[in-house]
Amino acid sequence: MPYASRKRTAALLTTAVLAAGALTACGGDEDGDVRKQSLEWEDCPAPSEAQGGGASPSPLPRGGDWQCATMRAPLDWSEPEGETIGIELIRVRSTGGGKSRIGSLIFNFGGPGGSGVTTLPAFGPEYETLRTRYDLVSFDPRGVGRSEPVECETASRLDAFFQKDGTPDDAQERAEYKQGLLDFNEACEDNSGEVLPHVRTTDAARDLDLMREVLGDDKLYYFGVSYGTELGGVYAHLFPKKVGRAVFDAVVDPTQDPEQGSLGQARGFQRALDNFAEDCASKPQEECPIGTDADDIKERITQLLADLEERSLPGIFPRRLTETAATGGIAQSLYSQDFWPYLTQALDEAYDGDGRTLLALADSMNGRNQSGEYSNMVAANTAINCSDDKPRYTVADVQRVLPRFREASPVFGDYLAWSMLNCADWPVAGAADHPDVSAPGAPPILVIGNTGDPATPYEGARRMAEALGPGVGVQITYRGEGHGAYDSGDTCVQDAVNGYLLDGKVPRSGTVCG
C-alpha cells in the first residue's frame, strides 16, 4: 500500500469495477475565450490505457446512450488565454424533459486520480432516480485518464515498484525505499514536467466552474465522493455564489495535514478490519474458516504479514505475494462490505500457501488490469496530492510518528506512516497544509459521513460541515460499513439526497440513517 495517503484511497473500490468510455473533440470561438466554446458530443470509444482499459460503455438498462466530449481549459489558470488542454467529459441525458429538467449533475468519484469518464457508467444504474431531472455528467480531472494524463513509470517498472518492501526496518531497506520513491518521482518529472505544476485541486475547481458554464448552467449541481468532497469544498470556497445543490459523500477531513490524515486512515482501516473480524466470527465455521473468534482472526492476519516479511508466497506468476501486496489487498477488501467474502477467501487461500487472490486485490488497489497494464491512477494521485500538500516529511519524521501509527493500527500503521515520504522529492512545491473550504454565502451542502468508512473516517464529516460554515454544511450520519453511503442502498440516505437534489428539500442537520 505504498501510495496510500489522506486522499489516495478515494476511488479504489471503483477501480475494481471500471468498465466504460472516454474521448471526443471540442469546438469553440476563434477568439480563444474558452467560456464561449461549444462541446461536440459523440459516441464514447473504449477507455484508454491511462483510464484503465476495457470496453466502451453500454447503454443504461432503462435506455440512455453515453456520449463523450472534450472541453478546452487553460493549462495555467493564471494565463486564461494561453495554452489549453483537453478535459474529457461523459454524459447521459436526462429522462425528464422540459420544465422537469434542472440541469447537469456533475460527479467526481475521488482518488484523486480516478477516471470519472470510466466510473460513472459503471455506477450509472444507481443514479437513475437522479436522471429524472438531470443529465448525469462526469469527467477526467486534469492529469487523469485522457485529460493530459500524468505519466511516470512503465508497467514493468511499476510491477517491480509494488514488490518493494513498504515498511523498511533497517538502514539498507530505508535507502532502497527512498530510492524507489525518488526514481518514481523523477520519472513523473521526465515524462510530465509541463503539466505537474497545474494539477492542483484549485485548478480542477476552476475547471469545474468552466464546465458548469459550458454546459449551460447558472449554478453548479454537484455530487462529490471521497476526494470529490474536497474538490467540491474548494469549489464552494472559490465560487460560493455559483453553488447550486451539492452533496458530499464519504467526506475528506479538510482540517488535517497529511500526517494527521494518514493517522486517521490508519484508525479507519483498523476499525473496518475489526468490524470485518467481528462479522466473520459471527458466522458458521464453513463460512469463516480463518479463525475461532475476532481476536484470533486479527492475530492470524498479523502473523501472516509477519511471515510474508520473511518469505513471500506464490502469487500471479511470475509475481509473488509480498507483505506489502498482502496489506494492499486487505485494504482494498475493506472498501465495501460486499468485498468481505473475497477477503475471507483470500486469507484462507493464503494460509494454505496460495497468494493469488490477495495479489489480485492488491492489483485492483494499484490500478493494474489483468493484461498487466496500469491506469495512471497512482501517477495522478501522487501528482495531485504532492501539488496540494505543502509538508515534506523526512525519515526522522516517520520514525517520530511510528509508535502512534502502530498503536492506531498494527496492520496498516507502518505502511501509512512510511507513505508520508511520497512527496519528499517531488519537483513541485505543495500549496498548503490543508485545503480551505470555508464557503460563506453558499447554499446548504449535504455532508454524509459513514461510521464504518475506512478511507475517509466518519469524524471528517463533522469537520467538513463545520469548516463550510454556519448554514452551509448539513450533516447526515449513516451507520454502516464501506466507503460511502448513497451507493449502500440505504433508503434513508437516498431519500435525503434525492429529496434535496431533485426537489430542494433540505434534511435536518444531524439526521441519522442506518
Report the catalytic residues: 226, 453, 483
Measured between alpha carbons, how far is 231 from 237 in angstroms, rounded to an integer?
10
Strands 320-321 and 313-314, by their bridges, are antiparallel
Cell of 232: 467540491
Contacts 24+ apart (CB under 8 A), 212-216: 212/104, 212/106, 212/242, 213/35, 214/34, 214/35, 214/37, 214/38, 214/39, 214/71, 215/39, 215/103, 215/104, 215/106, 215/135, 215/137, 216/103, 216/104
Helices 201-214 & 227-238, crossing angle to 10 degrees? 70
- Residue 192 near residue 50, CB atoms below 8 Å: no
- Residue 21 near residue 53, CB atoms below 8 Å: no
**Cis amide linkage into residue 141, ω under 30° from 0:** no
**For residue 502, which of 178, 191, 102, 204 has the smallest C-alpha distance?**
102
**For residue 205, which of 233, 247, 246 has the smallest C-alpha distance?**
233
**For residue 179, which of 203, 201, 157 has the smallest C-alpha distance?**
157
- Residue 387 near residue 349, CB atoms below 8 Å: no
The count of other CB atoms within 10 Å of the CB of residue 93 is: 18
Q: Please report, for residues 401, 422, 465, the alpha-carbon distance to residue 179 in angstroms, rounded to integers and kept in the order given.
A: 21, 11, 40
353: left (phi over 0), alpha (psi -120 to 50) or beta: left
Q: Please report, for residues 118, 492, 493, the alpha-carbon distance to residue 486 in angstroms, rounded to integers and kept in the order given.
A: 19, 9, 6
What residues have CB less than 8 Å from 285, skipping those under 6 apart? none
Q: What are phi and psi of 467, to 5 degrees?
A: -70, -35
